[in-house]
């Protein structure tokens, strides 16, 4: 059985300035109060600098062209009436915002001519982020704009027949959601061994969708956020609810260890702990951590409470952060593009604080986060951290959590475990 429902528009992130269209439309989209998940929202939508962001919403479109294999910006835009010099100038002007020399095949670019002699180029940088370049009187004016997005709740359930990944794919559950589920449950379930036919899974997640310029984002994966998860296995019935960036059991107990296994949202686990062939060095060596693949600039979170030990260039790790969590535990985050503002050794951080942004600095074959956990000076497999914390929500946090759980149950959910 598989129910695939787009349920409700949960919230519409509209804060900003209407740039191109008349402002009379903006009564249609009233700002909704944000849920208190500031950590998640930051991780999913970039920094919450809502007031200084410039939003763009327009139904006016120009001609859309797709970058084909073997094509570059000059050949593509040259065919659309721009001179070589104009294209070269464009690449230079855009450089602080986007490297137009590194565009990937399949990127959609919108070209329009607002007035005679003017040109306008628009293309996506990350999901929801639009680079707009306007050529007026010999100069390119380039800016980064945000397209309003909405969060759509979606839910699925499935009974496992073959393997979790196969069955999930057959049921149309996005890979990212299954990855998040496996990571959330890895504190309790050994997915290599324990999963059996007949096990039941239910997931509810939010899919971020742009409300306009959809075709310019069609080649990018929508950000997905797992919000509820149920899994029955070996007579156990696990129900996990996301609250403020962490998973809890319905009674408010923290359902994860003191260290996050996944210190970023929306990532794919791309390389496991253990021996492997090194893609850059070309020989087999021990991989002392796990790798996560995600877009450049994805915020990286502190895996747990602790003190920053280093935040600087660290040999083949490139830009790296090391956090000391006490009791002999340390975590390392490597190949970062950049550090969080003002992050310095000695800073105290909490679980979920943004410490840097995903990149490919150091000895790295491509963009990814390399994440290590050390205990008493030795690397351990981050996925093996089993001991769930005894922590439990209390006071106002527990009240907030209960309210959210009640909302989840009163939403028009079709999941058996959320039915009233």
Site string for Zn ion, 17-56 (x = CB under 5 A): ----------------------------------------
Closer residue to Zn ion, CB minimum distance, 280 or 416: 280
Segment (H or E) for 7: strand 5-13
Give the binding-site size for Zn ion (rule: CB under 5 A): 2
Binder among 129, 154, 155, 291 for Zn ion (CB under 5 A): 291
* 370 near Zn ion, rule: CB under 5 A: yes
Which range in 44-52, 63-71, 232-240, 369-377 contacts Zn ion by CB under 5 A?
A: 369-377
Q: What order do you get walking across the sheet with 299-301 strand by strand?
A: 299-301, 354-357, 338-339
Residues 129-168, one symbol each (x = binds Zn ion by CB under 5 A, - = not), give ----------------------------------------
**Measured between alpha carbons, how far is residue 45 from residues 5, 49, 134, 253, 391 in Å?**
23, 10, 25, 27, 28
In terms of CB distance, is 242 or 370 closer to Zn ion? 370
The residues facing 356 across adjacent strands are 300, 339
- Report the 10 Å Cβ neighbour count for 92: 12
CA distance 78 to 416: 56
Work out how close the CB of 287 gets to Zn ion at its nearest, in angstroms, rounded to a whole number.
6
Judged by beta carbon, residue 176 or residue 362, the one nearer Zn ion is 362
Ranked by CB distance to Zn ion, the top (closest) residue is 370
Q: Do the beta carbons of residue 362 and residue 289 sit within 8 Å? A: no
Q: What minimum distance in Å lies between the beta carbon of 291 and Zn ion?
A: 4
Question: How far is the C-alpha of 208 from the C-alpha of 298, rounded, in Å?
Answer: 15
Closest distance to Zn ion from the beta carbon of 371 (Å): 8
Rank residues 223 and 382 by Cβ distance to Zn ion and give the closer one. 382
Of 182-190, 288-296, 349-357, 395-403, the window that binds Zn ion (rule: CB under 5 A) is 288-296
Please give the Cα distance from 391 to 296 (Å, whole number). 33
Nearest-approach distance from CB 283 to Zn ion, in angstroms: 15
Q: Does 372 bind Zn ion (CB under 5 A)?
A: no
3-state secondary structure of 113: coil
Q: Name every residue whose Cβ is closer than 8 Å to that of residue 153 and which is 6 or more positions away in sequence.
A: 6, 7, 8, 10, 204, 205, 206, 227, 411
- Asked if residue 204 binds Zn ion (CB under 5 A), the reply is no
Q: How far is the CB of 57 from Zn ion (least distance, A)?
A: 40
Task: Single out the residue of 266, 242, 268 nearest to residue 255, CA to CA.
Answer: 242
Would you say 150 or 291 has its CB closer to Zn ion?
291
Do the Cβ atoms of 280 and 363 come closer than 8 Å? Answer: yes
**Residues contacting residue 375 through CB under 8 Å, at least 6 positions apart:** 328, 329
The contact set with Zn ion (CB under 5 A) reads 291, 370
């Amino acid at each position: 059985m598989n129910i695939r429902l787009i349920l409700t528009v949960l919230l519409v992130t509209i804060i900003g300035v209407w740039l191109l269209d008349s402002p009379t439309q903006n009564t249609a989209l009233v700002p909704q109060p944000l849920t208190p998940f500031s950590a998640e929202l930051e991780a999913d939508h970039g920094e919450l600098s809502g007031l200084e962001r410039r939003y763009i919403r327009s139904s006016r479109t120009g001609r859309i062209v797709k970058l084909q294999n073997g094509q570059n910006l000059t050949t593509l835009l040259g065919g659309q009436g721009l001179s070589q010099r104009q294209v070269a100038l464009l690449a230079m002007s855009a450089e602080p915002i986007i490297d137009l020399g590194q565009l990937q095949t399949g990127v959609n670019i919108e070209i329009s001519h607002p007035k005679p002699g003017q040109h306008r180029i628009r293309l996506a940088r990350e999901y929801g982020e639009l680079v707009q370049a306007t050529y007026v009187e010999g100069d390119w004016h380039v800016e980064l704009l945000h397209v309003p997005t909405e969060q759509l709740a979606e839910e699925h359930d499935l009974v496992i027949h073959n393997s979790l990944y196969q069955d999930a794919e057959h049921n149309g559950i996005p890979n990212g959601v299954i990855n998040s589920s496996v990571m959330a449950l890895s504190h309790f379930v050994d997915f290599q061994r324990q999963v059996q036919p007949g096990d039941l899974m239910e997931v509810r997640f939010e899919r971020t969708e742009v409300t306009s310029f959809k075709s310019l984002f069609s080649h990018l994966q929508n950000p997905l956020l797992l919000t509820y998860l149920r899994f029955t296995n070996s007579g156990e019935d696990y129900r996990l609810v996301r609250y403020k960036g962490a998973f809890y059991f319905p009674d408010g107990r923290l359902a994860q260890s003191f260290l996050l296994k996944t210190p970023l949202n929306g990532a794919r686990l791309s390389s496991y702990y253990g021996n492997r062939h090194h893609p850059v060095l070309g020989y087999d060596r021990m991989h002392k951590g796990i790798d996560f693949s995600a877009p450049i600039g994805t915020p990286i979170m502190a895996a747990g409470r602790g003190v920053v030990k280093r935040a600087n260039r660290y040999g083949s790790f490139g830009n790296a952060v090391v956090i000391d969590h006490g009791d002999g535990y340390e975590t390392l985050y490597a190949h970062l593009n950049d550090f969080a503002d003002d992050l310095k050794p000695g800073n105290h951080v909490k679980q979920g604080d943004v410490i840097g942004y995903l990149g490919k600095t150091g000895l790295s074959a491509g963009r990814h986060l390399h994440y290590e956990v050390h205990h008493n000076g030795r690397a351990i497999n981050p996925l093996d951290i089993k001991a769930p914390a005894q922590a439990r929500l209390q006071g106002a946090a527990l009240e907030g959590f209960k309210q959210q759980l009640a909302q989840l149950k009163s939403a028009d959910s079709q999941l058996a475990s959320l039915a009233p």
